[in-house]
Structure 1
Amino acid sequence: MESKVVKCSDYEWDSVSHKEYKDDQSCYKGVQRYSLLGTRNDEQALNFETRYFEVETGGYTSFEYHRHPHSVVVIRGMGTVILDNEVCELSLHDVVYIAPNTLHQFHADHGESLGFICTVDRYRDRPTLPDKDKIDDIVESEKVRKKIKI
């Protein structure tokens, strides 16, 4: 891999196009994904992927879980994240660790877009959308149940 800098201006990176967040558009609202590092042929030496997600005002990511952990750093706006049975407030530069098998969902619910860098292993399992039984087993909080978007 050749060393390089990918320049950014107003949350748009040179030669990095945004993509729909997921193929199934029914499980989220207003989310764009940018694969910044780790997905192109010249970056195969990396064992991870660095991605940027932007959730538009009023939007949310899918409510999901998976076997792999990942980390998130908020670099734009404010919002909330559901982590299993808890709703956590997020603001600029907050860092989130999502442990394996944790139900999670990000919300841009503070009147502005929520943007975050997400780092994951290059080789990982696919996210799973929980069924009603899984949600009932884990989520006891009425506040969380009302917040979940499916």
Structure 2
Amino acid sequence: MMHRKALDGFRWDGIDHLPYKEEGSVPFKDISRQVLLSAPELSGELRYFEMGPEGFSTLERHEHMHGVMIFRGEGHCLVGDEVRFVRERDLVTIPPWTWHQFRATAGVAFGFLCMVNTQRDKPQLPSDTELEELRTNPTVRAFLDGEI
């Protein structure tokens, strides 16, 4: 059995508070991650990501699916060609090979739990052509430009 006591500030006992990704490797802002559970026998990993009031994750896609639960605050998420307002306890499913990004757009910290496969592929970033195609949707363009 494992028990990790919840601490103040959306941290957990014995869990490292890590950078989201290597600084300068891809575009992101003011976001961190914590791996809460990595269990090969479950074939899954539960992670907690938190971003500051104007933070955002990387625009990316993968061959693996994501299950996300908004755990703290509110913001917006892009999944494919849809932008949705999300808040605490909302659930978001991200299908394989679907562009996705989360943004703290409400001026408050924004955190989410993310369940993924233990063994998974590396994220792909959009090419200039793919980004241009995404931006043809006015709502997606406004999201990517930080106007939503």
TM score, norm. by length of structure 1: 0.89
One-letter amino acid matched to 1:18: H
Q: 1:68, 1:125 within 8 Å by CA — same for their partners in 2?
A: yes
1:77 is matched with which residue: 62, 73, 76?
Answer: 73
List aligned pairs for 1:1-150, cutoff 5 A: 3-10=1-8, 11-25=10-24, 26-38=26-38, 43-148=39-144
Over residues 58-82 of structure 1, what are the superposed CA-to-partner deviations in whole Å (9 max), with x where a residue is unaligned?
A: 0100000111001000110000001
Unmatched 5+ stretches in structure 2: none
Question: Aligned equivalents of 1:23 and 1:128: distance in 2?
Answer: 15
Identity rate, percent: 34
Q: 1:84, 1:139 within 8 Å by CA — same for their partners in 2?
A: no
Question: Aligned equivalents of 1:72 and 1:117: distance in 2?
Answer: 6
Question: Aligned equivalents of 2:144 and 2:136: distance in 1?
Answer: 12
Q: 2:72, 2:110 within 8 Å by CA — same for their partners in 1?
A: yes
Q: 1:65, 1:129 within 8 Å by CA — same for their partners in 2?
A: yes
Indicate the SS of the match to 1:68.
coil
CA drift of 1:138 comes to: 4.3
TM score, norm. by length of structure 2: 0.90
CA drift of 1:4 comes to: 1.4
CA drift of 1:96 comes to: 0.3
Over residues 98-149 of structure 1, what are the superposed CA-to-partner deviations in whole Å (9 max), with x where a residue is unaligned?
A: 0011111100010101111000000110111111211234453112113226
Indicate the SS of the match to 1:146.
helix
> Structure 1's 138 and 144: CA in aligned 2 closer, same or farther, altered over 3 A?
closer
Question: Aligned equivalents of 1:54 and 1:44: distance in 2?
Answer: 24
Over residues 31-90 of structure 1, what are the superposed CA-to-partner deviations in whole Å (9 max), with x where a residue is unaligned?
A: 00000111xxxx442311010000110010000011100100011000000112111000
Unmatched 5+ stretches in structure 1: none
> Structure 1's 24 and 101: CA in aligned 2 closer, same or farther, altered over 3 A?
farther
Question: Aligned equivalents of 1:22 and 1:106: distance in 2?
Answer: 15
